Amino acid sequence: MQPAGAIGTMNIANPASMDIPWSRISVNRNHPSMDLADAEFNETPGQQLGVAFNPASAEQLFAGSGHTFAELAALGKDRKPLPHFPLSVLLKANAVILTKSLESSNIVAKLPGSDPSLKNEFVVLSAHIDHIGIGAPINGDRIYNGAMDDGSGSALVMDIAASLKAHPEKIRRSILFLLVTAEEKGLLGSKYFAAHPTVAAKSIVADVNVEHVSPHRPAENTQSRWPGGIRSGQPGRSHRAVHGHQTDRRSRATSQHVHSQAISTTSSGTAFRRSSATSASSLVHPSKKSSRIGSPIVTTRRATT
Convert 61-80 to b/e letters by CB count within 10 Å (16 or more is b): bbeeeeeebeebbeebeeee
pLDDT in the model for residue 213: 80
- Distance between CA 137 and CA 62 in Å, rounded? 35
pLDDT in the model for residue 217: 62
Report whether 82 contacts 249 (CB < 8 A): no
- Distance between CA 226 and CA 200 in Å, rounded? 13
Who contacts 301 (Cβ-Cβ below 8 Å, separation ≥6)?
30, 31, 32, 33, 98, 262, 263, 264, 265, 266
Arithmetic mean of pLDDT over the chain:
75
- Distance between CA 142 and CA 270 in Å, rounded? 29
Neighbours of 149 (CB within 10 A): 19
pLDDT tens profile 192-218: 999 999 999 999 999 999 998 877 665
Domains of the chain with CATH codes:
2-98+268-282 (no CATH), 100-260 (3.40.630)
Who contacts 207 (Cβ-Cβ below 8 Å, separation ≥6)?
123, 124, 125, 126, 178, 224, 225, 226, 230, 231
pLDDT tens profile 47-72: 888 888 999 999 999 999 999 999 99
- Distance between CA 163 and CA 160 in Å, rounded? 5
pLDDT tens profile 87-118: 999 888 888 888 888 888 899 999 999 999 99
Query: Does pLDDT of 257 surpass 90?
Result: no
Query: Does pLDDT of 250 surpass 80?
Result: no
Query: Does pLDDT of 166 surpass 70?
Result: yes
Q: Is the pTM of this model over 0.75?
A: no
Convert 12-24 to b/e letters by CB count within 10 Å (16 or more is b): bbebeeeeeebee
Q: Where are the beta strands (DSSP E) in 112-240?
A: 122-128, 133-138, 141-144, 174-180, 204-209
